[in-house]
Amino acid sequence: MRFRTLKKRHEYMGQVELAASTPRGLMNMQNANASVCGSRALMAIGIAGGIAGTLDLTQASILFGLDVPRVIAAGLLGKAAVHGGTGMWILGVCLHYFIAISAAGMFYAASRRWTFMTEYPLVCGLLFGGVVEEVMNLIVLPLSALHARGPYELSDLLQGLGVHAVVFGLPVAYCIRHWAPAAPRVAKESEQATIV
């Protein structure tokens, strides 16, 4: 049985080598590799955003009550949404996950450019969570339909920074590192010359 499996694997590898030896076969393999990398990226972003969004929504519901999704919907539709029904609650949950998955996508895109973000997920995740919190407080909320502006109390800002650094930033960083690690950085020719 083991011999048959090895024989099939060898035949398959021979077909792959033959396919790669032709220009068209090489292009198909490159497209297949790009497709696999793209699907891994989407999976990593979806899982990271889903986990971080769930943890964030859970902690917000514990701290501020179960009406948090309605307040999120009010950020899009105005203050009347706070008094809405189940539809507003569902809209708020969907918006929350959209924002969480979008933020995870931003972390993924940045980690392709700066590979240290996946090499040091603890530090980068904590910083990312803090940045997301401050962007939401200082840019998104003032521009939303709620027009939420300060003055903010220092204790609230610090609590938000700490909670989002741990509950949002760390899951995103570790999920991206696990499901879509960045390719190792290759030294440029000028850097290689100085090493030698």
pLDDT of 22: 54
User: In this model, does residue 138 exceed pLDDT 70?
Assistant: yes
* Residue 33: CA count within 13 A, CB half-sphere: 8
Asked if the structure places residue 22 within a domain, the reply is: no
Structural domain including 66 reads 30-183
Average pLDDT over residues 65-92: 90
Paired tokens of 64: 């501020």
Paired tokens of 180: 């879509």
168-171-173-176 Cα dihedral, nearest 10 degrees: -130
Distance CA 81, CA 63 (A): 20
In the block, tokens 């090489």 appear at: 26
pLDDT of 116: 86
Asked if the structure places residue 114 within a domain, the reply is: yes
Domain count, the chain: 1
Report the mean per-residue pLDDT for the chain.
Answer: 80
End-to-end CA distance of the chain: 50
CA 158 to chain centre: 23
User: In this model, does residue 51 exceed pLDDT 90?
Assistant: yes
Pair 94, 49: CB distance under 8 Å: no
Asked if the structure places residue 84 within a domain, the reply is: yes
> Binning pLDDT at 50, 70 and 90, where does residue 128 land?
very high
pLDDT of 29: 45
Asked if the structure places residue 96 within a domain, the reply is: yes
Average pLDDT over residues 170-183: 86
In the block, tokens 């998104």 appear at: 140
Asked if the structure places residue 195 within a domain, the reply is: no
Percent of the chain with pLDDT over 70: 73
Asked if the structure places residue 11 within a domain, the reply is: no
pLDDT per position as a tens digit, 92-108: 999 999 999 999 999 99
Asked if the structure places residue 63 within a domain, the reply is: yes
What lies within 8 Å, CB to CB, of 104 at 6+ separation is 44, 45, 46, 48, 49, 52, 172, 175, 176
Q: What share of the chain is helix, strand, coil (3-state, %, to 5)?
A: 85, 0, 15
Asked if the structure places residue 161 within a domain, the reply is: yes
